[in-house]
Structure 1
């Protein structure tokens, strides 16, 4: 960390231009690898081909899958599955191109129209394919098992077929499923788009400058308290001004989910997410309980230490991610971030670094933070016939380097799992965070091992602890907030004030007495995209962090062969349950003590910080 480029403390008057110059040449992604443009004949022909093939598929196979299960060859179930998978890959490619184009600049009306039109067309096409999974689940299990036994093509898809059975109790009849699919365009999908476009248009005034969300949030990591306070006040002000639309979106989506869950017969408000994640409710409940029980040992304890380091009795909520005085005050150029992550990956396994390097060399990354671009970061797998893409909003902070390591971990995972094909490459969310959090840990440990200076080591450890608290404690608090909102919504529409009270209740519990929560913070639930796009997604982060903490402990004590087992886990995609994937490492997420082991690593880092402070 000591060789970071020198950079004066940022002020609100600094221009984006000078900072961008310091960061170096930030890459933008090559969406041409999917399609040259939305206007090309290739894209238009694929749209037409997808519809024609879906209609032909429906005509050929609908009502005939039970008979196909008794046959092999071109008329057998395996042939139908192959054809279905090819269609899924084509549709995924089209949808990925439209989505990534839109997220490149959500403020561009042309992008919004393109994305909306493509979504509508894909919904129309998918309606012709909807019968397939529903009809498969109406075939007697023993007939499908027999097809798997005698048809080599069907046997290839056995994990997908067996996994599909878990959805059987929650399926509706074909007409209702088609209605749910088609109405999604004017319900959940529409309100998701409204959220994205509203958020992209928001501006936050700081010292006369109109800043987008990402740059304003980034100011909460500035060393000067007045800068952080002004950013927090600007965020609170704009959130409050737009409270009405965010309250409407939240109420509508919660009610939409409640209707769907009721029709499908889910007992608990999060059961549909647990099913999608292929994880048992009891496992998630145990995780949430373990984290809540650890609040005093983790976040409460750490924030009390940090308040003392910052010379405060109590920190304001905008000080939570403030850098310590020991933190090097520098912008990290893009090239340095690239080498930091790749060298850490290479140290673990050259194969891992080779895959990650392709994201840089072949322009699979979009890095600049620009107006209209989707905030935050993600890795989009697209489809196995193409390659993943990574979006970050790189501003040169140490946390941005860790975000890059995180998203590249996803990218490596997606490349390796791609060999499973379009139907089986998707990893359940509970394990989807494994490679990303592991990549962060590799990068952190590599940097820590090279840091001899006590003050820098303290700053690095503190930042890692904060990131882990944000990943584990904060995400479980988010999960508890969602549970409260969705439970309360069953009794009627919620006002913004009621949602704010629920938000403050979980934040107060999780942050502890060393964080002062003042006026304005009650509306900060508004900007969290996971609540909108993926209800109850957030516990997957805590699941992944605790899992990786345990996995990394195994790695530290392992003899040769860990890397090979790790790559086998990533390559499995969605073909195996988490219990089967973790067994080679001697780990079991159903064991109540499993979560305590993961949390103890965070506690250990806090112990190390305390010891450094005393030394």
Structure 2
């Protein structure tokens, strides 16, 4: 169905909550497997349809946060979402207690039952009001970021539109653009501090009311981290700090030499080459057309997928005033289709959207056979495997987007993925620190960010920006506000994606695409480690899992005459 023609209708709260309650009662009273499956099928469709309305409202609100109608709907869903989640707990309990669970397994995959157990721990009536408050605070952050109108060199920009200028080949331009960008955060620092302070205390109250020590401990439950624990993550963090950070510093030294600089200031880090970074060649429409050709050449299924995204207007890609920042891919169960949201700004990131977010969307397109909408995507860290891997799978087609700049793009992209690992760890560890010290002042939080930044991102020199030196960088990381603890997932996926990079681009493994598609189709029917087994991939938590990959990455980067790029 054409997304522009999809009708949005706010659900009747009372009717929905009563229907879910009735479904829970009917499932508990079911006399046989057929009756149980019939109830579950009906309730699954109801949940899918209702949650789809929430997704449509959220998509249209983020496309234009100034739209009064969808701004009001966003407020409605902030309030109604926790009520709906809590109402579903009675139904989930009936599912878990049903004597016909084996029959229900024909509708619900294994992770559904695992998620249900977790949801019963995190959705209770006593925290609804607090969850509503947390949602409202997250929306306030989104709206604050979207409201940015930054003056620079006689023009006004959104934060996303400043992106190309922040990485301009002219050092004076990029310094000024970065000062303007960070000036917005410094000017609104008190607002960001107040929002986050309220968030931390609200989420801490939620966790403690639910019986957890703190929100950090609770994160392993609400993030559905089924296959690994805090001890495994601590070991993984140590591996990144001791093995990846030194490699990043080596690359930074090469970068400074390429740029003709004695050392890199914070505003230099995003610029890889003295002649400027690789930029896409063509208009947004031409980039989309190139992506369409690429996906057709990858596989018939990939081609059909991207045709569908274009013909049914399931892409909103251009940055514009009032639009929320960032990018995402969503799956809308009611129309069995993904949707991609982005902010094109003329940088290589535009192409990354057409691979990263399209990787997410392609995975859901293949896994739409799964009935429960929240099981089409796998768990968060597993979902990111498909997006990050697609960035590497697409390497042979990059000349369609970058022409003669293709070698520059590939080199910078491979290095950027490496740089991301310690940053992703930093974002996650910072949140654990904040939520295990919920009474820290805003100044103490910023000091902790800067302390951790020196451990994981020692390449960042803020000598020319006292605001960043005080530790305000994290304020631009929307996940910290809107999706707490959703960040280490990217790093776990990055390590797996590097395995696909090696299989596709170094080993030229003929089975790599089959494994990727097979994993994508499995989607949320398998846990993280099960998906890795399906794709013949190694766990990032296995001892020495990084060693072979880092050696291959370093060899690939060292093989390039980067001074000539």
Q: Could you tell me the TM-score, scaled by structure 2's length?
A: 0.89
Alpha carbons of 1:370 and 1:289: their partners in 2 closer, same or farther (altered >3 Å)?
A: same
2:110 corresponds to which of 149, 153, 159? 159
Are residue 482 (structure 1) and residue 431 (structure 2) matched?
yes
Contact 1:368–1:394 at 8 Å: present in 2 too?
yes
Alpha carbons of 1:118 and 1:253: their partners in 2 closer, same or farther (altered >3 Å)?
A: closer
Distance 2:459 2:140 in 1: 36
Shift of 1:177: 0.5
2:73 corresponds to which of 106, 111, 114? 114
Contact 1:438–1:548 at 8 Å: present in 2 too?
yes
Q: Report what 1:299 is aligned to.
A: 248
Distance 1:517 1:337 in 2: 38
Aligned residue for 1:367, secondary structure, equals strand
Structure 2, unaligned stretches of length 5 or more? Answer: none
Matches within 5 A, 1:209-608: 209-266=155-212, 270-275=216-221, 276-277=223-224, 278-281=226-229, 282-326=231-275, 327=277, 332-383=282-333, 385-421=335-371, 422-447=373-398, 456=405, 459-489=408-438, 492-495=439-442, 497-513=443-459, 515-518=461-464, 519-521=466-468, 522-555=471-504, 557=507, 560-589=510-539, 590-608=541-559
Alpha carbons of 1:370 and 1:487: their partners in 2 closer, same or farther (altered >3 Å)?
A: same
Contact 1:331–1:397 at 8 Å: present in 2 too?
no
Higher gyration radius (CA):
1
Contact 2:331–2:364 at 8 Å: present in 1 too?
yes
Shift of 1:302: 1.1
Q: Report what 1:6 is aligned to.
A: none
Aligned residue for 1:156, secondary structure, equals coil
Alpha carbons of 1:123 and 1:460: their partners in 2 closer, same or farther (altered >3 Å)?
A: closer
Alpha carbons of 1:190 and 1:133: their partners in 2 closer, same or farther (altered >3 Å)?
A: same
Matches within 5 A, 1:125-144: 125-137=84-96, 139=97, 144=98
**Residue deviations 1:509-555, cap 9 Å, x none?**
33335745432223222121000111111111111111011133334
Alpha carbons of 1:262 and 1:233: their partners in 2 closer, same or farther (altered >3 Å)?
A: same
Distance 2:89 2:415 in 1: 44
1:207 corresponds to which of 142, 153, 158? 153
Structure 1, unaligned stretches of length 5 or more? Answer: 1-28
Contact 2:399–2:406 at 8 Å: present in 1 too?
yes
Alpha carbons of 1:317 and 1:530: their partners in 2 closer, same or farther (altered >3 Å)?
A: same
Distance 2:401 2:84 in 1: 54
Shift of 1:346: 3.6
Distance 1:394 1:607 in 2: 31
Are residue 55 (structure 1) and residue 18 (structure 2) matched?
yes
Q: Report what 1:18 is aligned to.
A: none
Aligned residue for 2:18, secondary structure, equals helix
Pick which of 404-413 and 259-268 moved more: 259-268
Shift of 1:306: 0.7
Distance 1:121 1:535 in 2: 20
Aligned residue for 1:587, secondary structure, equals coil
Contact 2:2–2:311 at 8 Å: present in 1 too?
no
Aligned residue for 1:84, secondary structure, equals helix
Contact 1:356–1:411 at 8 Å: present in 2 too?
no
Alpha carbons of 1:597 and 1:263: their partners in 2 closer, same or farther (altered >3 Å)?
A: farther
Distance 1:476 1:125 in 2: 33
Matches within 5 A, 1:77-88: 78-88=37-47
Aligned residue for 2:59, secondary structure, equals helix
